[in-house]
A = this chain, B = another copy of it.
Amino acid sequence: MKNIMFNANHSPIGAYASFTLGFPGAAGGPGMERRGPADTNVYIGVERREGGSYESFPFFKNEDDESKQYDVEKEDTQEQEGYFDQFPASEIERDFRVSSDSWKARDITFTLYNQVESIPDPKFCDEECLKEVIVPAVLAELTIDNRGCPNGRKAFFGFNEVEERYGMRPLSSGKMHGVGQGGNLAVFTLDQDAHPAGGFCPECILGEEDRDNWNFRLGKTALLVLDVPEDTKKTFRFAVCFYHGTQATYGIDTKYYYTRYFRNIEEVGSYALYVFDRIVEKCREANLRFDKESLTPEQRFMLWHSIKSYYNSSQFLIKDGEPLWIINEGEFRMMNTMDLTVDQLFFEMKMNPWTVRNELDFYLRNYSYEDKVRFPGSDTEYEGGISFCHDCGVANVFAPEGRSAYEKCRLTDCFSYMSHEQLVNWTCCALVYIKQTGDQSWSDSRKETLKSCFASMVNRDHPDQHKRNGVMGLDSTQTKGGAEITTYDSLDVSLGQARNNIYLAGKCWAAYVGLKDYFETNREAGLAKQSALQAQRCAETIRSHMTEGGYIPAVMDEDNDSKIIPAIEGLIFPYVLDLKEACREDGIYGAYIRALKKHFETVMQKGVCIFSDGGWKLSSTSNNSWLSKIYLSEFIAGKILGFDRKTYMEEADRAHVDWLTHPEHSYWCWSDQIVSGIISASKYYPRGVTSILWMEE
C-alpha cells in the first residue's frame, strides 16, 4: 500500500458511531450519527525518553491558542520548539485488520479493536450474548515500551470537543477514570496510573506543574494522562464509548437497542472494560477468520475496510419493544435505502440473517405502496401493483408511510422513482432470506406478498401478456410522466434509466428464476410456470440484443450504445439461491449466459470498461464507477462466469486500493462513487460489503 495514512471507521455494532482514525490532522475522533469524520483532534503520544517534551501520532492539527479568547490582550507566547511534535508518517507502521487497527512509532503502539460478530436474533437469543456484541464501545490499547529507560514518562490519550452543546470533562466513576464530552462520548480506563485532565491544549495540560489544575474545564481538550514507570513495558487499556440514551429518531420514535442494557455512558464503559479480554479475543479470531489466504492482499484490504465502514452506518434501534435494524447511507444518511439493502444482503445473510427479515418486514409494513404504470409518452394507465420506497427516511427522521425521502415526480434522472428496481430488490432479498435460512413460517407469511410482487413485475413488462418480453417496459405513475431510474442514479442513462436497461433486466431475470423456484417449492405450479416463462423471455430479449461488436448495449431499442459491466449483475441471485444451474453455459439459460460472457470479454478493455489505471469502469460512457458494484461484478465474473482473477482483476484491484488510499481523499474511509480515481460521492459508505462474497472465492 502506497499510503497508510488513510481514515478507517472503528465502530461498535449498531450504535451509528465511529472512532474514526488514520488520516493526518483534525480528521477523526469519536463521532455519532454523522455524515463524515468528527474532525476533531485525537491525541495519542508519549514523553520523549529524555523527558520534558512529547511526541504524538499525527492525528491532530495545531490550533490557535484558545485561551486568548478569555484574555484578549494577551501577548503571543513563543511555543518552545520541539516541545510537542508529531511522528513523521515515515516512522509510523500500521497493521490494518478487519477487527483491529494498530499504529506503531518508536516505542509506542496504539491499537483499536472493533467487533465483527454476528448479532444474535433478539427474539431468541441469550441477552448477555447480545449485550456483549452491541455494547456501544470500541476498545483500545496503548503500549509504551519504556524498557531500558531510567525515567518514568507521561503518555496520554484523549481528544478535543466534537460538538458544541456539551463541554469536555473528566468522567470518573468508581474505580474507573475517564474523560469525555457531556454524556455522549467518553474514554474510560480502569488503570490507576491514568489521570483525567482538561485544558486548552495537550501542551497546556502536560505542562501543568500542579495536577490540581487538570480540573480546569474551559478548554476543548481532555486527556487521560498516563504515568509509565521507568524501565517497564506498560499497556493501558481503554474503552472508547458512545451513548445516545434518549429518543434517537423522529417520525417514528425509537431508542437505541443498547439502552435496554446501559443507562448511561459510565455503565457502557464499566461493562466494556469488564469484558475487555473476551472482546479482544473475539477480535483476534475475527482477524484470522477474515484473513483468508486465497484472497489477494488488495482483496483483504478492501474487504476489511468496507466492513469497518458498514458498521459505522449500522443503527440497531428499539421501537415499541421491537428491534428495528437500520443501515444508514453513509454521507447521505438515508435509512435502509432498499437498493443498498440488496447489496448488503450477502453480508447480512452471512452475519445475521434476522436483520434482513427485519428490513423486509419494515418495508412491507411502512414503506410499500401500490401504483399504476404507463408507457413513456402516454397518459393511459395500466395495472401496476406493489412496490417499495427507495428509503425509509433520512438523517434520523423517518419519512411518512409509503414515501421515501428521496423520490420526486416528473423527473427522468437523479431523484426520480425507482419503483421497478426496488420491487425487484425486495423480491430478491426475500427469496434469498427464505432459501438460505429455511424460515418456512416467514416464507408462508409472505407468500401472498411474493405473489403480488410477481404480478407487479409482470404488469411492468407489458399489459398484454402476449407482448411481454421479460423486461421493464412501463414506468410507474408515481413519476407522473417522468421515467424511473435505477440505483445507479448519478450515472448517465446507460445505468441510470430503468426501462429497457440490461442491468435491471438481468436482475428481473434473476427474480423470475428465483420466483419460479419459490413457487415450485411452495405448491404454486401455475405461478412457477409463468415465472419460468418470464425468465426465458427476459434472457432471450437480452441475448437477442447482442451486437456484432460482441456486446449488448446498456439500454435496448433506444439508440443507446453504452457498454456496461453490470449487465452480469443479476447472475448473483441464482448463485446465492443455490440455483447455480441457471448460470451454466450449457444450462437452460445457456445462450443468455454465453452472451453475457461474450459481452464481458468485449467490454473489459482499456478505454471501454477499464480506466487507464486498470480500475474497472462500470459504464463506457461514465467516469463514475462504484466500488461496491465492482466487487460484486468481480465475484460474478470470477466465480460464476469463470474469468481468471489474475488476468481480469489483479491489476484492477491494485488501482481500486489506490483509489481508497488516495493521500487526500482517503479522509472519507471506505467510499463508493469514484470518478476517474477520485472519491467523489457516496462517501463514508456501508455498501462495500459486497466484498464479503470474495470469502467464497
**Neighbouring B residues of A413 by C-beta, 8 Å:** 71
Contacts A167-B333, A217-B395 known; list 16 others, CB within 8 Å. A33-B164, A70-B415, A72-B673, A72-B675, A72-B680, A73-B492, A73-B623, A74-B414, A167-B394, A169-B250, A182-B396, A212-B409, A217-B394, A218-B405, A218-B415, A246-B246
Max count, chain B CB within 10 A of own CB: residue among A332, A490, A622: A490
Chain B residues near A167 (CB, 8 Å)?
A: 333, 393-397, 405
6 A-B pairs with the lowest CB-CB distances in the bound complex, closest first: A167-B395, A217-B405, A246-B246, A71-B414, A213-B408, A167-B397
Alpha-carbon distance A183/B333, docked complex (angstroms):
17
Q: Smallest CB-CB separation from A491: which chain B residue?
A: B73
Tell me if B410 and A624 are in contact (CB < 8 A).
Answer: no
Question: Does A216 have its Cβ within 8 Å of any Cβ on chain B?
Answer: yes
7 contacts between A and B (CB under 8 A): A69-B681, A70-B681, A73-B490, A167-B394, A183-B247, A216-B405, A217-B397
Indicate if A577 sits at the interface (CB-CB under 8 A). no
A399 contacts across to B, CB distance below 8 A? 215, 217
Residue of B nearest to A408 (CB): B213
Residue A35, interface by CB 8 Å? yes
* Choice from B70, B183, B393 contacting A250 with Cβ under 8 Å: B183
How many copies of this chain does the complex contain? 2
Which residues of the partner chain B approach A517 to less than 8 Å between Cβ atoms?
none
Docked complex Cα distance between A104 and B419 (Å): 47
Are the CB atoms of A216 and B166 closer together than 8 Å? no
Over the window 15-56 of chain A, the binary record of Cβ atoms lying under 8 Å from chain B Cβ atoms (1 yes, 0 no) is 000000000000000001111000000000000000000000
Q: Return chain B residues, CB-CB under 8 Å to A210.
A: 408-410, 480
Chain B residues positioned under 8 Å from A33 (CB to CB): 164-165
| B residues in contact with A183, CB < 8 Å | 247, 250
Contacts of A490 in B (CB 8 A): 70-74
Give chain B residues whose Cβ lies under 8 Å from the Cβ of A461. none
**Minimal Cβ-Cβ distance residue in B for A623:** B73
Contacting residues, chain B, for A67 (C-beta < 8 A): 414-415
In the bound assembly, the distance between CA atoms of A394 and B400 in angstroms comes to 39
CB within 8 Å of B: which of A45-98? Answer: 67, 69-74
Residues of B close to A247: CB separation below 8 A = 183, 245-246
Partner of A218, one of B215, B246, B394: B394
- Write the chain B residue with the least CB distance to A68: B681
A225 to chain B, nearest CB (A): 16
Do A397 and B182 contact each other (CB < 8 Å), given the known contacts A209-B410, A216-B405, A218-B332?
Answer: yes
Q: How many residues of A contact B (CB 8 A)?
A: 63
Q: Does A406 contact B (CB under 8 A)?
A: yes
A144-186 CB mask vs B (1 if < 8 Å, else 0) is 0000000000000000000011110100000000000011000
How distant is the Cα of A397 from the Cα of B165 in the complex, in angstroms? 10
Write the A666-680 contact mask toward B (1 if CB under 8 angstroms, else 0): 000000010100001
Q: Which of A32, A33, A182, A399 has the most CB of B within 10 A?
A: A182
Closest chain B CB from A260 CB (angstroms): 17
**Per-residue 0/1 for A352-395: is the Cβ within 8 Å of any B Cβ (1 yes, 0 no)?**
00000000000000000000000000000000000000000111
Nearest B residue to A213, CB-CB: B408
Q: Can you name the residue of chain B whose Cβ is closest to the Cβ of A481?
A: B210
- Is the CB of A237 closer than 8 A to any CB of chain B? no
Complex contact B395–A70 (CB within 8 A): no
Q: Mark A236-256, 1 if CB is under 8 A from B, else 0.
A: 000000000111001100000
Within 8 A of B (CB), among A667-697: 673, 675, 680-681
B contact residues around A403 at 8 Å (CB):
215
- Contact (Cβ within 8 A) B397 A166: yes
A141 surroundings in chain B (CB, below 8 A): none
Complex contacts, A215 vs chain B, CB 8 Å: 399-400, 403
Do most interface residues of chain A lie in helix, strand or loop, or is the interface mixed?
loop
A246: chain B residues within 8 A (beta carbon): 245-247
Q: Complex: how many Å from CA A415 to CA B217?
A: 11
Distance of A201 from chain B, by nearest CB (Å): 14
**A585, B408: Cα distance in complex, Å:** 79
A165 nearest in chain B by CB position: B33
CA A118 – CA B272 in complex, angstroms? 49
Q: CA separation between A151 and B472, bound complex, in Å? A: 44
A331 at the interface (CB under 8 A from B): yes
**B622 touching A73, Cβ below 8 Å:** yes
Contact present for B182 and A70 (CB under 8 Å): no
CA separation between A378 and B514, bound complex, in Å?
89
B169–A213 CB distance below 8 A: no
Q: Give chain B residues whose Cβ lies under 8 Å from the Cβ of A624.
A: 72-73
Contact of A489 with B by CB under 8 A: yes
Q: Which of B166, B245, B334, B396 contacts A395 (CB 8 A)?
A: B166
CA distance A408 to B213 in the complex (A): 5
> Which residues in B have their C-beta under 8 angstroms from that of A251?
169
A396:B213 contact, CB within 8 angstroms: no
Determine if A216 and B165 form an interchain contact, defined as CB atoms under 8 angstroms apart. no
A91 to chain B, nearest CB (A): 35
Tell whether, in the assembled complex, residue B250 and residue A414 are in contact, meaning their CB atoms are under 8 Å apart.
Answer: no
Q: A213-B408, A217-B399, A405-B218 are in contact. Are A70 and B414 (CB under 8 A)?
A: yes
Contacts of A74 in B (CB 8 A): 414, 490
| Shortest Cβ distance from residue A667 to the other chain B in the assembled complex, whole angstroms | 15
Contacts of A397 in B (CB 8 A): 166-167, 169, 182, 217
Complex Cα distance A673/B69, Å? Answer: 11
Q: Give A681's nearest chain B residue, CB to CB.
A: B72
Complex-state Cα separation, A73 to B251, whole angstroms: 33
